[in-house]
């Protein structure tokens, strides 16, 4: 057992389950700007860990650092394996699914092609699960993703990540910019997915975060301000106002 | 009317050459954001390869020409492959450095060719069919024109088929939109980069062999002149769009040849530049390009 | 002190060179004050000055031009052609040519700057190509492949003839010093700081309330007009204009000089211009020398091609010495970090994606 694991468990942040992913003193950079200033936390297997914080504190950068999409230092371990030096596609193949902030579906490709692209060699794609969660992806298979609504694109982006049996899902602001009805729908779906997956979520909506999270990590200026069980952290209204700026949403 | 047909078909042949160079550049730029200044030199190397195959044949057969075309494409493809692995890939993410490095490579390659075979033009023997003419609407058209137009058409069809029907094509189309997301799906985009750069080199090679036929000879400076016009085709068509490159190549080839013949030699060349300037001012993303490409 | 004294000492030494008949063992075509040596040095000064003007755009403002030869060439050709017109002569031809160059620089930059990034580079390439074609075809009395030379008695007497080579040498040196001082001053003004901010991040500079387009236009117009002045001096050194200075290859070689020396460092551009021009002019002579001609043809032939060596060195510098030759003499902390910001859809180590 390595030092970081000992440390994080000694601090007692992870309740139940083992630490699926451990971030230890992660620093990340964009050009000359220092974006993450030593971020450390665990993602517990089988749980939803949610990162909250104001715009620009490094939430998206944390996910991108995990995927090796940013220049970073520090240790990031998945099931004990250090991801340092691995390239993005290698990290993804270890079983990391990514649903980016702007959905990033491929606009010029059809839904079917978007999904086909996500198939990984060596593992059988689980189309049944995807079509059960999002029947529309089947009925609109031939439609270009660029012509889909925001909600539909979000479903496609989620479906793309769920096509494979991933160990960890990185989901970035899945409800951003969606109509309230769609927000409910997406949150419901995520709740279903969460019952059988480990998720590291970035979420601005406190309501959604409350509904989905087991553990919450609050980021502030590139550092972890506080972390702990979701019920506890999200209930502290003063702290939430301080760290999120806005109150309820 | 006869003259017009001849000039127009010659213009299309020229456009076909531009397209062979520009289509590869377009794919490369679309996927990798690299504008390769070395592709002109790749074309020239290929033309010399073709000359090496054909030079000793008094009257080469069509079969030998085909061999020359294959050898040229493969030679340029290998050159492009080595370039990608040793120069482009180590400079990953530094688009400016990649561009400059290809410019340096192009310079060195052309100088090397001049050192080996001298700066002057070498005649390339052609099969009888290629140098003879076919009557079209009463005008005798050199068969090279059909060879070029045919090659460009086949190239376009093959590119389209690869892009739309193969998994590699799927990865390329997705990578053109967002290479990062493709990698995040677990796909090794670097391999696509290498493949596309190599394929672009092979297309330049094909262009080189055919340019040798079109002009009947090769000099070390053949490719650089073509490269400038291929760049213009690329920009007018829209960076990253193969269809755009096709349209622009046809329009420019025709406009250039017709103006050079009917107005004054040289005016066509300037017209092409003028068309580029107009495009840049009126529609900077080009005919079929996407706006965010020109960041 | 060293920073100001060292260049001053170099300039004084160079200014005294025409009085030295030292022979520097084959490095120069002859003794230092021989016509060939002074001519070579003058060409190196002009190239260095021109490289500085490109560095102002590329190194300091982040505008990569593939068409700098347009302005150098235009300055050169227009000075010669206008001076040769009967009524004008050199005294009227030169100022008129510079005025025209300024206008072309203003209009050319105003148009090219409507595009950013690679689009700008391509626009500059295209504009320069128009001049290149016009010259190649001999439009506007440019003489086609041969070029044009000054007519009899057009140039002021002190700059004519082999006996006066030292005068053109001093003229070229004066040009280099003037351009160095001007650009060195310009980049230290407030406008100069804005240019460098634009190089680092045009978007943020715009958000801070600076007019990015106007700043770039100023930088580009100054740089290109100065390049035109360099072209005029070139025409005096060479006694005319020739098409080799308007082709794409010349624009590329200017970029090469700046990158070789180290972009964003003025004396880097000088070093780059010196090294490039020296190698370009001397390699052929060196390859004819005893040591090299003994080598087998396979090795000798490429060595006799300056562009082979220069292109190879250039690629190696980009791969292994990103800061150029200047970075060899600078401490790391002063390195200009001007790696271009990669775009989102290119797979890279870091991107501009928000945090």
Task: Assign A245 a pLDDT band (cuts: 50, 70, 90).
Answer: low
Per residue in A92-147, pLDDT (tens digit) is 999 999 999 888 899 989 999 999 999 988 788 889 989 998 998 999 989 999 99
At C234 the pLDDT is 94
pLDDT at C286 over 90: no
Q: What is the DSSP string of A30-88?
A: ETTEEEEEEEEEEEETTSEEEEE--TTSSHHHHHHHHTT-SEEEEEEEETTEE-TT--H
Taking the CA of residue B138 and the nearest CA in chain C, the distance in Å comes to 32
Residues of A in contact with C351 (CB under 8 A): 30, 64, 69-70
At C264 the pLDDT is 87
The answer to whether C101 and C75 are in contact (CB under 8 A) is: yes
Total domains, chain C: 1
DSSP H helices in chain C: 2-16, 35-61, 68-84, 89-112, 117-136, 165-186, 190-200, 202-207, 212-238, 248-261, 266-288, 290-293, 297-303, 306-320
Taking the CA of residue C212 and the nearest CA in chain A, the distance in Å comes to 21
Strand partners, A48: A199
Cβ of C342 within 8 Å of Cβ of B93? The answer is yes
Residues of B in contact with A164 (CB under 8 A): 186
Of A31, A56, A58, the CB nearest to C341: A31
C196 touches A at CB < 8 Å: no
Region for residue C147 given its phi and psi (left: phi exceeds 0; alpha: psi -120 to 50; beta: otherwise): left
Q: Which residues of C48-63 are buried (b: 16+ CB within 10 A; e: fewer)?
A: bbbbbbbbbbbbbbbb
Cβ of A93 within 8 Å of Cβ of B171? The answer is no
Mean of all residue pLDDT scores within chain C: 82
The tally of CA atoms less than 13 A away on the side-chain side of residue A235 is 7
Interface mutation vs chain C, best among B85, B171, B230, B295, most C CBs within 10 Å: B295
Residues of B in contact with C320 (CB under 8 A): none
CA distances B77 to B27, B42, B74, B205, C50, Å, are 15, 8, 5, 7, 37
pLDDT at A9 over 50: no
Cβ of C355 within 8 Å of Cβ of A29? The answer is no
Q: CATH number for the domain including A18?
A: 3.40.50.300
Taking the CA of residue B170 and the nearest CA in chain A, the distance in Å comes to 7
Strand partners, A27: A37, A73
Which of C323, B35, C200, C196 minimizes the C-alpha distance to A30? Answer: C200
Query: Cα–Cα distance between C178 and C170 in angstroms, integer?
Result: 12
Q: Decide which of C304 and C224 is more confident.
A: C224
At C342 the pLDDT is 35
pLDDT at B136 over 90: no
Nearest CA in chain B to C308: B108
In a domain, A170, yes or no: no
Q: What percent of chain B has pLDDT over 70?
A: 98
Residue B55's Cβ-count burial label (10 Å; 0-12, 13-18, 19+) is middle
Of A88, A113, A120, the CB nearest to B184: A88
In a domain, C243, yes or no: yes
The answer to whether A209 and A52 are in contact (CB under 8 A) is: yes
Question: What average pLDDT does the segment B248-264 reach?
Answer: 92
pLDDT at C327 over 50: yes
At B291 the pLDDT is 57
Query: Cα–Cα distance between C150 and C74 in angstroms, integer?
Result: 15
Taking the CA of residue C199 and the nearest CA in chain A, the distance in Å comes to 13
Cβ of B183 within 8 Å of Cβ of A89? The answer is yes
Question: What's the CA dihedral at C329, C332, C338, C343 to 10 degrees?
Answer: 140
Task: Assign C251 a pLDDT band (cuts: 50, 70, 90).
Answer: very high
Mean of all residue pLDDT scores within chain B: 89
Cβ of B177 within 8 Å of Cβ of A116? The answer is no
Question: What average pLDDT does the segment C62-90 reach?
Answer: 90
At B86 the pLDDT is 95
Q: What percent of chain A has pLDDT over 90?
A: 39
Of C341, C349, C353, the CB nearest to A60: C353
Q: How many CB atoms within 10 Å of residue C185?
A: 10
Of C126, C309, C319, the CB nearest to B273: C126
Per residue in B228-255, pLDDT (tens digit) is 889 899 889 988 888 999 999 999 999 9
Q: Helices C68-84 & C212-238, crossing angle to 10 degrees? A: 50
**Which chains pack against C, by 3+ Cβ pairs within 8 A?**
A, B
The answer to whether B173 and C338 are in contact (CB under 8 A) is: no
Residues of A in contact with B173 (CB under 8 A): 106, 108-109
Of C119, C248, C318, the CB nearest to B100: C318
Nearest CA in chain C to A60: C355
The tally of CA atoms less than 13 A away on the side-chain side of residue C145 is 0
Strand, coil or helix: C65: coil
Of C64, C314, C345, the CB nearest to B178: C345
Of B224, B277, B284, the CB nearest to C127: B277
| Chain CA centroid to CA B165, Å | 23
Nearest CA in chain B to A122: B186
Question: What average pLDDT does the segment C263-274 reach?
Answer: 90
In a domain, A165, yes or no: no
Q: Helices C117-136 & C248-261, crossing angle to 10 degrees? A: 130
Domain span including residue C226: 32-255
| Chain CA centroid to CA B220, Å | 16
A120-129, B121-130, C28-37, C106-115: lowest mean pLDDT where?
C28-37
At C152 the pLDDT is 78
Question: What average pLDDT does the segment B145-156 reach?
Answer: 92
Of C119, C130, C304, the CB nearest to B280: C119
C351 touches A at CB < 8 Å: yes
The two tokens of residue A77 are 């371990």
Question: What's the CA dihedral at A174, A176, A182, A185 to 10 degrees?
Answer: 30
Q: Decide which of C184 and C25 is more confident.
A: C184
Residues of A in contact with B176 (CB under 8 A): 108
Query: Cα–Cα distance between C240 and A177 in angstroms, integer?
Result: 65
Cβ of A109 within 8 Å of Cβ of B187? The answer is no
In a domain, A63, yes or no: yes
pLDDT at A13 over 60: no
Question: What average pLDDT does the segment C174-179 reach?
Answer: 93
Interface of chain A toward chain C, CB-CB under 8 angstroms: 28-32, 35-36, 55-61, 64, 69-71, 88, 222
At A8 the pLDDT is 41
Cβ of C352 within 8 Å of Cβ of A30? The answer is yes
Query: Cα–Cα distance between A58 and A36 in angstroms, integer?
Result: 6
Q: CATH number for the domain including B44?
A: 1.10.3470
Q: Decide which of B1 and A170 is more confident.
A: A170
pLDDT at A165 over 60: yes
B185 touches C at CB < 8 Å: no
CA distances A228 to A66, A170, A234, Å, are 21, 19, 9
Q: Residues with Cβ < 8 Å from C226, sequence gap 6 or more? A: C49, C52, C53, C56, C179, C182, C183
The two tokens of residue A94 are 């270890």
C4 touches A at CB < 8 Å: no
Query: Cα–Cα distance between B285 and C29 in angstroms, integer?
Result: 50
In a domain, C295, yes or no: no
Task: Assign C74 a pLDDT band (cuts: 50, 70, 90).
Answer: very high
Taking the CA of residue A17 and the nearest CA in chain B, the distance in Å comes to 26
Query: Cα–Cα distance between B251 and B193 in angstroms, integer?
Result: 29
Interface of chain A toward chain B, CB-CB under 8 angstroms: 67, 69, 87-89, 92-93, 98, 100, 104, 106-109, 113, 116-118, 120, 160, 164
Query: Cα–Cα distance between C316 and C324 in angstroms, integer?
Result: 10
Strand partners, A96: A168
Domain span including residue A41: 3-95+205-244
C340 touches A at CB < 8 Å: no
Task: Give long-range contacts, CB 8 A cutoff, 24+ apart: B6-11.
Answer: B6/B139, B6/B140, B6/B141, B7/B257, B7/B258, B7/B261, B7/B262, B8/B254, B8/B257, B8/B258, B9/B136, B9/B141, B9/B145, B9/B149, B10/B142, B10/B145, B10/B257, B11/B253, B11/B254, B11/B255, B11/B256, B11/B257, B11/B258
* CA angle at A105 for the pair A102 and A111, rounded to the nearest 5°: 145
The answer to whether C323 and C336 are in contact (CB under 8 A) is: yes
At A1 the pLDDT is 37
Task: Assign B39 a pLDDT band (cuts: 50, 70, 90).
Answer: very high
Domain span including residue B128: 2-294
CA distances B197 to B24, B25, B264, C293, C335, Å, are 8, 8, 38, 38, 32
Per residue in A176-190, pLDDT (tens digit) is 888 888 888 889 989
The tally of CA atoms less than 13 A away on the side-chain side of residue C81 is 20
Residues of A in contact with B171 (CB under 8 A): 117
In a domain, C354, yes or no: no
Residues of B in contact with C302 (CB under 8 A): 111-112, 115-116
Cβ of A60 within 8 Å of Cβ of C355? The answer is yes
At A10 the pLDDT is 39
The answer to whether B12 and B20 are in contact (CB under 8 A) is: no
Q: Decide which of C26 and B170 is more confident.
A: B170
In a domain, A144, yes or no: no
Which of A161, A189, A195 minimizes the C-alpha distance to A48? Answer: A195
Taking the CA of residue C340 and the nearest CA in chain B, the distance in Å comes to 7
At C220 the pLDDT is 93
A74-78, A157-161, C28-32, C91-95: lowest mean pLDDT where?
C28-32
Per residue in C122-155, pLDDT (tens digit) is 889 888 988 888 888 878 787 777 788 888 777 8
Interface mutation vs chain A, best among C199, C337, C342, C350, most A CBs within 10 Å: C350
Nearest CA in chain C to A68: C349
Query: Cα–Cα distance between A220 and A222 in angstroms, integer?
Result: 6
**Which chains pack against B, by 3+ Cβ pairs within 8 A?**
A, C
Question: What average pLDDT does the segment B201-206 reach?
Answer: 94
The answer to whether B53 and B68 are in contact (CB under 8 A) is: yes
CA distances C247 to B121, C47, C58, C125, C126, Å, are 19, 15, 19, 10, 11
Task: Assign C105 a pLDDT band (cuts: 50, 70, 90).
Answer: very high
Per residue in B41-81, pLDDT (tens digit) is 999 999 999 999 888 877 788 888 899 999 999 999 999 99
Q: What is the DSSP string of C208-264?
A: TT--HHHHHHHHHHHHHHHHHHHHHHHHHHHTEE-GGGTSHHHHHHHHHHHHHH-TT
Taking the CA of residue B199 and the nearest CA in chain C, the distance in Å comes to 19
At C292 the pLDDT is 63
Q: What percent of chain B has pLDDT over 90?
A: 46
- Sign of the Cα torsion B279, B158, B213, B51 reads positive
Cβ of B295 within 8 Å of Cβ of C339? The answer is no
In a domain, A105, yes or no: no
The tally of CA atoms less than 13 A away on the side-chain side of residue B257 is 21
Of C339, C352, C355, the CB nearest to A58: C355
3-state secondary structure chain B: CHHHHHHHHHHHHHHHHHHHHHHHHHHHHHHHCCCCCCHHHHHHHHHHHHHHHHCCCCCCCHHHHHHHHHHHHHHHHHHHHHHHHHHHHHHCCCHHHHHHHHHHHHHHHHHHHHHHHCCCCEECCCCHHHHCEEEECCEEEEHHHHHHHHHHHHHHHHHHHHHHHCHHHHHHHHHHHHHHHHHHCCCCHHHHHHHHHHHHHHHHHHHHHHHHHHHCEECCCHHHHHHHHHHHHHHHHCCCCHHHHHHHHHHHHHHHHHHHHHCCCCHHHHHHHHHHHHHHHHCCCCCCCCHHHHC
């Amino acid at each position: 057992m390595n030092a970081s694991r000992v440390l994080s468990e000694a601090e007692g942040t992870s309740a139940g389950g083992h630490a699926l992913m451990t971030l230890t003193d992660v620093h990340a950079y964009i050009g000359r700007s220092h974006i993450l200033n030593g971020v450390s936390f665990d993602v517990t297997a089988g749980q939803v860990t949610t990162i909250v914080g104001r715009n620009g504190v490094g939430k998206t950068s944390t996910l991108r650092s995990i995927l090796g999409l940013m220049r970073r230092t520090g240790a990031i371990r998945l099931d004990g394996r250090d991801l340092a030096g691995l390239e993005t596609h290698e990290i993804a193949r270890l079983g990391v699914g990514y649903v980016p902030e702007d959905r990033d579906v491929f606009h010029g490709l059809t839904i079917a092609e978007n999904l086909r692209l996500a198939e990984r060699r060596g593992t059988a794609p689980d189309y049944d699960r995807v079509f059960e969660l999002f029947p529309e992806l089947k009925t609109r298979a031939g439609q270009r993703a660029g012509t889909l609504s925001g909600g539909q694109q979000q479903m496609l982006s989620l479906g793309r990540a769920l096509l494979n049996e991933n160990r960890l899902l990185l989901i970035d602001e899945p409800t951003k910019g969606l109509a309230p009805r769609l927000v409910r729908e997406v949150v419901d779906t995520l709740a279903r997915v969460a019952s059988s997956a480990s998720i590291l979520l970035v979420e601005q909506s406190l309501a959604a975060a409350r509904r989905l999270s087991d553990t919450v990590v609050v980021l502030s200026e590139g550092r972890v301000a506080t972390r702990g069980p979701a019920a506890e952290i999200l209930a502290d209204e003063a702290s939430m106002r301080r760290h999120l700026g806005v109150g309820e949403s | 009317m006869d003259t017009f047909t001849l000039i127009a078909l010659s213009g299309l042949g020229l456009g076909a050459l531009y397209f062979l160079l520009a289509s590869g550049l377009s794919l490369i730029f679309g996927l990798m954001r690299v504008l390769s200044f070395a592709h002109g030199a790749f074309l020239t190397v290929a033309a010399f390869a073709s000359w090496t195959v054909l030079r000793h044949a008094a009257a080469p057969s069509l079969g030998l020409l085909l061999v020359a075309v294959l050898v040229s494409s493969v030679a340029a493809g290998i050159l492009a492959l080595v370039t990608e692995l040793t120069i482009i890939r180590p400079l990953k993410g530094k688009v400016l450095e990649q561009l400059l490095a290809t410019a340096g490579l192009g310079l060195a390659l052309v100088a090397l060719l001049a050192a080996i075979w001298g700066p002057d033009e070498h005649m390339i023997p052609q099969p009888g069919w290629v140098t003879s003419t076919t009557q079209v609407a009463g005008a005798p058209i050199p068969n090279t024109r059909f060879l070029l137009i045919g090659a460009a058409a086949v190239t376009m069809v093959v590119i389209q088929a690869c892009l739309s029907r193969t998994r590699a094509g799927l990865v390329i189309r997705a990578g053109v939109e967002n290479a990062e997301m493709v990698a995040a799906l677990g796909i090794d985009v670097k391999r696509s980069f290498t493949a596309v750069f190599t394929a672009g080199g092979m297309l330049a090679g094909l262009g080189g062999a055919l340019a040798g036929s079109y002009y009947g000879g090769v000099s070390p400076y053949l490719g650089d002149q073509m490269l400038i016009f291929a760049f213009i085709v690329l920009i007018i068509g829209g960076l990253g769009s193969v269809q755009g490159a096709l349209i622009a190549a046809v329009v420019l080839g025709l406009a250039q040849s017709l103006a050079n013949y009917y107005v004054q030699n040289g005016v066509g060349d300037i017209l092409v530049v003028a068309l580029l300037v107009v495009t840049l001012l009126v529609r900077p993303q080009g005919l079929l390009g996407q706006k965010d490409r020109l960041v | 002190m060293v920073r100001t004294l060292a260049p001053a000492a170099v300039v004084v030494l160079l200014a005294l060179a025409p009085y030295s008949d030292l022979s520097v063992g084959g490095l120069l075509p002859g003794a230092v004050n021989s016509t060939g040596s002074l001519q070579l040095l003058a060409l190196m000064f002009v190239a260095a000055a021109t490289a500085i003007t490109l560095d102002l755009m590329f190194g300091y403002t982040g505008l990569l031009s593939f068409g700098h030869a347009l302005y150098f060439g235009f300055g050169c050709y227009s000075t010669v052609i206008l001076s040769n017109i009967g009524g004008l002569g050199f005294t009227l031809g030169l100022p008129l040519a510079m005025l025209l160059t300024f206008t072309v620089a203003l209009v050319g930059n105003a148009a090219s700057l409507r595009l950013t990034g690679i689009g700008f580079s391509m626009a500059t390439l295209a504009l320069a190509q128009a001049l290149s074609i016009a010259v190649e075809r001999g439009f506007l009395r440019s003489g086609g492949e041969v070029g044009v030379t000054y007519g009899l008695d057009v140039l002021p007497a002190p700059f004519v003839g082999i006996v006066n080579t030292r005068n053109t040498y001093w003229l070229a040196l004066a040009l280099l010093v003037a351009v160095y001082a001007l650009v060195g001053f310009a980049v230290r003004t407030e406008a100069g700081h804005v240019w460098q901010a634009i190089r680092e991040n045009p978007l943020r500079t715009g958000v801070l309330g600076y007019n990015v387009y106007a700043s770039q236009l100023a930088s580009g117009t100054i740089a290109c007009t100065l390049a035109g002045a360099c072209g005029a001096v070139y025409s005096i050194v060479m006694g005319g204009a020739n098409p080799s200075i308007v082709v794409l290859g010349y624009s590329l070689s200017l970029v090469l000089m700046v990158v070789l020396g180290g972009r964003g460092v003025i004396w880097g551009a000088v070093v780059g211009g010196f090294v490039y021009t020296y190698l370009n002019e001397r390699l052929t002579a060196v390859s004819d020398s005893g040591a090299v001609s003994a080598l087998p043809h396979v090795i000798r032939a490429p060595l006799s091609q300056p562009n082979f060596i220069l292109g190879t060195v250039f690629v190696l510098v980009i791969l292994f010495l990103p800061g150029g030759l200047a970075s060899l003499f600078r401490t790391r902390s002063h390195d200009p970090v001007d790696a271009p910001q990669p775009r989102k859809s290119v797979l890279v180590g870091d991107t501009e994606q928000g945090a």
